[in-house]
Amino acid sequence: MSSGVWAEKYRPKSLDEMVDREEIVSRFKSFVKDKNLPHLLLVGPAGVGKTTSILCLARDLYGPGVQNYILELNASDERGIDVIREKVKNFARTAAIASDVSFKILVLDEADSLTTAAQHALRRTMEVYTRTCRFCLIGNYSENIIDPIQSRCSVFRFGPLAEQDVKSYITTIAKKEGVKLIPEGLDAVFEASGGDMRKATNLLQAAAATQGEVDDIAIYSVLGKVSPQRVRDMINLGMKGEFLEAREILRSLLIDEGLGAEDVLRMIYSELMRMQMPEKWKVRISDTVGEVDFRLTQGARPEIQLSTLIAKLALASEEIERR
């Protein structure tokens, strides 16, 4: 088994290796074909291929000598105006040498962390050095990027990766690394990652390092959480009117397992939304969940508040049966 970081080891190296990004890949390939591209702004949640896609574009555009024509900076580390005045401007002002492409690429990751002053300085730099450099800004939230910069860029929005693509890619990695990944474990990887491929890959590696077989228990152990089945059992007992038994599971989660009340509440809400019950009751229970969540933020006792939620489930079940 490799001791390297799998998320980096299995990162796509070209646009042809990208998954679940057909439209974006098609546009990027046209940029490569034309040997030209606009300033880019890539926005979306973490781990969905933003940085990877621009690095793949650069490799396809420049070939083996790509490192001579691209500069990566992380704005979350260097977010002030000085980095724009020094590193960015010095790189942008020099022309690409001995290349069929007339410009270099500057990748500014976590660009939404830049201060407003730095963004205004960057706006002017993008104007002045367009001939010699293209800027690719990457961030999670486009609203944190000032409008003058957004208007200078072609904006590409990335959503979470599809379930089928995440599972297919994770299964491929498991086979290459000789990891026994059972279906329950694969489902747990996707559920925990939420479409974040980097998180999914790291979860698989961490679970494989501590367990001979990667199942849902191994995944939730790595996350420091319990299997959703425990939460489902607690909800089902509450819906059957077996309040005391459901409360014992709740106490076990809070005390024996050491879970935070917010984590338990989040898992309860997620499972409730998947259950088969009248929609109007989902509305009522969601209202109760919101009220409990608010009380927890105000310092109320977690066990009492979550027990109240279980009691509401029991009462809801009784009324549903009567009707």
Tell me the CATH number at 284.
Answer: 1.20.272.10
Residue 173 lies in a domain: yes
The number of folded domains in the chain is: 3
Specify the pLDDT at position 323. 64
Answer yes or no: is 6 within a domain.
Answer: no
What is the pLDDT, as a whole number, of residue 70?
A: 92
> H/E/C letters for each residue in the chain?
CCCCCHHHHCCCCCHHHCCCCHHHHHHHHHHHHHCCCCCEEEECCCCCCHHHHHHHHHHHHHHHHHHHCEEEEECCCCCCHHHHHHHHHHHHCCCCCCCCCCCEEEEEECHHHCCHHHHHHHHHHHHHCCCCEEEEEEECCHHHCCHHHHCCCEEEECCCCCHHHHHHHHHHHHHHHCCEECHHHHHHHHHHHCCCHHHHHHHHHHHHHHCCEECHHHHHHHHCCCCHHHHHHHHHHHHCCCHHHHHHHHHHHHHHCCCCHHHHHHHHHHHHHHCCCCHHHHHHHHHHHHHHHHHHHCCCCHHHHHHHHHHHHHHHHHHHHHC
DSSP strand pairing (104-109 vs 70-74): parallel
Tokens 């809070």 identify what position? 254
Residue 259 lies in a domain: yes
Among 142, 157, 172, the domain boundary falls at 157
Q: Are residues 187 and 145 in the same domain?
A: no
CATH of the domain at 168: 1.10.8.60
* Structure confidence at residue 80 (pLDDT): 60
- Report the C-alpha gap between 250 and 252 in whole angstroms: 5
Q: Tell whether 93 and 139 lie within a shared domain.
A: yes
Q: 26 and 130 share a domain?
A: yes
**Containing domain of residue 201, as a range?**
163-223
Same domain, 190 and 311: no
Q: Are residues 211 and 253 in the same domain?
A: no
State the pairing for strand pair 40-43/133-139: parallel
Residues 175 and 301 reside in one and the same domain? no
Specify whether 202 is located in the same domain as 135: no
Q: Are residues 52 and 128 in the same domain?
A: yes
Section 159-181 average pLDDT: 92
- Cβ pair 45, 199 in contact under 8 A: no
Final residue before a domain boundary, out of 126, 157, 188: 157
> Are 122 and 49 within one domain?
yes
Average pLDDT of 87-103?
A: 82
Domain holding 137: CATH number? 3.40.50.300
> How does pLDDT run across 51-93, given as a tens digit for each residue?
999 999 999 999 888 888 998 888 666 656 666 777 788 888 8
Same domain, 107 and 198: no
Least confident of 142-146, 196-200, 258-262: 258-262
Residues 266 and 195 in one domain: no
pLDDT band at 3 (very low <50, low <70, confident <90, very high): very low
> What integer is the mean pLDDT of 8-29?
88
